[in-house]
Amino acid sequence: MDKTFQAILAAIASFFVVTVILASILIICKTESKQQQQRRRRRSSAPQTRSRNLVAPKPNPRPDPNYSPCDSATFDPTSLPHVSMQELVAATHNFSSDLIIGDGSFGLVYKARLSTDAVVAVKRLSRGVASLWPPRIPGRDGNPRPDPPPEHRPGSSGSAPRDDDMDSLPRPPLPWPTRLKIIRGVAAGLAFMHHRLEAPIILRNIKATNILLDGEFGVHIADFGLARWVEKAHSHVSTQGAGTLRGADDGGADGAEAELPFPRGGREGGEADGVGEAEKGRFVEMVDASISREDLETTVVEEVFKIGLDCADHKNKRPAMNQVVEKLNMGLSRNYYDVSCPNLAPIVRTQLKKVFKNDIGQAAGLLRLHFHDCFVQGCDGSVLLDGSASGPGEQSAPPNLSLRAEAFKIINDLRRRVHDKCGRVVSCADILAVAARDAVFLSGGPDYYIPLGRRDSLNFATVNETLANLPPPTSNTSALLTSLARKNFTTTDVVALSGGHTIGIAHCSSFADRLYPQDPSMDKTFANNLKATCPTTNSTNTTVLDLRSPNTFDNKYYVDLMNRQGLFTSDQDLYTDPRTRPTVTAFAINQTLFFDKFVAAMIKMSLLGVLTGSQGEVRANCSARNAYSVLVSSAGEAEEARSGF
């Protein structure tokens, strides 16, 4: 055979072999790529976060051919503006599976090109983690609370400024009550992850930069980079970091960074010096010097720092996070009477069902009694005390003259029933708090847990002190917000607590100033009907507070305000004032949101000025101190008091 022809055949054969090899490699790669895409699609098709509902589903588009792995190599994170969810959806092509670049224990990571042309990585949390957002105090059903309204979300126009705005804005130091709220929020969030989940999450990178604050300083725990699911029968001590091992400073992207009550780098000697002061018990000296000392309660400060030291103790001596929450609530606990009076709740609720069946109006009377107790001298049962030889009590103050006499009788009757079953272990202050909660629930409102363990006061406030702490119904929103801000209530708290007026009645004298002359902000037809009920300024008649559903605890009170049918100035002005109008509107539209915020505000109110431990007493008769109980009780109650503890 000709050598030239042989060479040609050899070349053709070689080319054929190489082509077959390359084709085989290409087929294998395509098959593997297809399998990977199918796996990614299966992962991404599983429900992940509630953000999916923000946009209509779209077919996954083809990835941008201009994307390059090196696009973000020189990206400066400080240049990143606040990014909305809508932009994230667009930047990730509706979280297309084609843009998945990684996954971890808590969700998938997507490549995204923002409107600024910056390329970033976006982690989309899985449902198990997303449902914790924000992991604060659980809702009344045991689940996390729903999102706050838009004006209160981190990074929104109504929230605290983001870190990237801080340099251009004055940043006064947070007062001690606000910092204490942050501390409690962090503890509650961690306790929820540790103790309320079937598979607990241990966050091992908790620090100030991983605590986000919304516009009302509500806590949102961020960055699960050093977190771990803990399976049953396993200890968190053996866990390892999962996901991104480098902690991310989420504060700059999503909200204001937490400002805790401890100094930051301003103290000579640093942390070691702080530890030395702690060991010496000089806790007040450890508080940031910029905090006003007028807000500090030495006993509370000491308790908070002692709890912090306990948490830094040897692992076998550290308290569980649910114990930390209880301690931060100053000794109160939802389980306080589990041993000494386990039937407290059913005793109270069963009796109140009978009371309300005969007169549902008594629900409003009990709720108002609890309000007036807590706002004056704290939730200590002082409003239940009759006057004494030393002078008139809180009951003699003008705002309390209209408290229902039957409400006082109901509380004393509940006290008798509880003490008959359990002995004198449950305070009148706690019975009143439980009764107020049940008054809300049994009239159609939310059910919720309240911390218990209050003690009864040994004295009552003066008439002047009572007047100073109970804003009159003629107050406008500014006066209302100023008064309640002294007790650390936010704007949303004030609007939510005002929703207690969804049940109950009012005396004509409380709103006659809006009828004669007629307030222009009041609906004319509504005003004319009220004038028929209250023909003169000194009329003793009454009318319902909520026109639409006077005996049902719901959100119709806020609908009344939007229709200019609020009874008191303090009610209607909530819709007139631009600071509170958006919240009124939100509550009128969303009853679940109102219930959630009302519960949060009620729990906060129930912690005002509580007495615990050896403070105060547990009264044998709610209307008198124990020293005088025998003198003012009936013969039967006197015998009960003498046989008490």
Relative orientation angle of helices 591-606 and 362-375, to the nearest 10 degrees: 50
- Tell which of 446, 466, 486 closes a domain: 466
**Any domain includes 641:** no
283: pLDDT strictly greater than 70: yes
51: pLDDT strictly greater than 70: no
Question: Mean pLDDT of all residues in the chain?
Answer: 77
CATH number of the domain to which 548 belongs:
1.10.420.10
Per residue in 316-355, pLDDT (tens digit) is: 888 888 788 877 876 788 888 988 999 999 999 999 999 9
Q: Token digits for 501?
A: 């007026």
CB-based contact 155:164 (threshold 8 Å) = no
- Residue 328: φ, ψ to 5°: -70, -25
Task: Point out the annotated binding site for substrate.
Answer: 471
CB-based contact 385:460 (threshold 8 Å) = yes
CB-based contact 213:188 (threshold 8 Å) = no
pLDDT at 572: 96
Residues 558, 479 share a domain: yes
Query: Rounded distance, CA 562 to CA 575, Å?
Result: 7
Distances in Å between the Cα of 485 and the Cα atoms of 168, 175, 290, 373, 546 are 26, 12, 20, 18, 26
Choice among 152, 194, 370, 372 that is catalytic: 372
For residue 204, the SS3 value is coil
CATH number of the domain to which 403 belongs:
1.10.520.10
Stretch 252-266: mean pLDDT: 40
- Widest Cα–Cα separation across the chain: 135
- Tell which of 466, 500, 517 closes a domain: 466
402: pLDDT strictly greater than 50: yes
Residues 550, 535 share a domain: yes
**Any domain includes 572:** yes
pLDDT at 557: 97
Residues 484, 429 share a domain: no
Max mean pLDDT range (219-233, 376-390, 531-545): 531-545
166: pLDDT strictly greater than 50: no
Does 152 or 306 have the greater pLDDT score? 306
The number of distinct structural domains making up the chain is: 4
419 is catalytic: no
From 25-29, 70-74, 190-194, 383-387, the region with the lowest mean pLDDT: 70-74
**Any domain includes 36:** no
**Any domain includes 388:** yes
CB-based contact 428:406 (threshold 8 Å) = no
161: pLDDT strictly greater than 50: no
Stretch 471-488: mean pLDDT: 94
Residues 145, 124 share a domain: no
CATH number of the domain to which 104 belongs:
3.30.200.20
Does 208 or 557 have the greater pLDDT score? 557
Does 137 or 203 have the greater pLDDT score? 203
Residues 352, 447 share a domain: yes
Residues 482, 452 share a domain: no
Output the pTM of the full model. Answer: 0.60
Stretch 385-411: mean pLDDT: 88
Per residue in 55-102, pLDDT (tens digit) is: 333 334 444 444 443 443 344 444 555 678 888 899 999 989 888 887
pLDDT at 128: 55
Residues 109, 123 share a domain: yes
Residues 236, 160 share a domain: yes
Residues 241, 225 share a domain: yes
Query: Rounded distance, CA 201 to CA 190, Å?
Result: 9
241: pLDDT strictly greater than 70: no
Residues 508, 446 share a domain: no
Does 12 or 52 have the greater pLDDT score? 12
Number of H helices, E strands in the chain: 23, 10
Does 75 or 207 have the greater pLDDT score? 207
Task: Point out the annotated binding site for Ca(2+).
Answer: 373, 376, 378, 380, 382, 394, 502, 546, 554
Distances in Å between the Cα of 600 and the Cα atoms of 187, 380, 443, 521 are 16, 20, 18, 30
Q: Token digits for 127?
A: 């449902």
Task: Point out the annotated binding site.
Answer: 123, 373, 376, 378, 380, 382, 394, 471, 501-502, 546, 554
- Paired residues of 103 in beta bridges: 108
Distances in Å between the Cα of 487 and the Cα atoms of 295, 383, 484, 532, 641 are 11, 18, 5, 39, 35
User: Domain span at residue 438?
Assistant: 344-466
508: pLDDT strictly greater than 50: yes
CA nearest 129: which of 56, 225, 256? 225
Residues 318, 196 share a domain: yes
CA nearest 334: which of 452, 444, 502, 443? 452
CB-based contact 255:220 (threshold 8 Å) = yes
For residue 109, the SS3 value is strand
Per residue in 555-578, pLDDT (tens digit) is: 999 999 999 999 999 999 999 999
- Tell which of 438, 466, 494 closes a domain: 466
Stretch 160-188: mean pLDDT: 68
Task: Point out the annotated binding site for ATP.
Answer: 123
Taking the CA atoms of the chain, what radius of gyration do you get in angstroms?
A: 31
**Any domain includes 310:** yes
pLDDT at 499: 97
**Any domain includes 40:** no
- CB-based burial of residue 292 (10 Å sphere; 0-12 exposed, 13-18 middle, 19+ buried)? exposed
pLDDT at 104: 60
pLDDT at 38: 59
**Any domain includes 1:** no
Whether the bond between 520 and the residue before it is cis, its omega within 30 degrees of 0, is: no
Stretch 533-549: mean pLDDT: 93
Residues 231, 157 share a domain: yes
CATH number of the domain to which 280 belongs:
1.10.510.10
Q: Token digits for 220?
A: 């949102």
- Sorting pLDDT into bands at 50, 70 and 90, what band is 134? very low
- Sorting pLDDT into bands at 50, 70 and 90, what band is 237? very low
**Any domain includes 261:** yes
Stretch 10-35: mean pLDDT: 71
DSSP state of 98: G
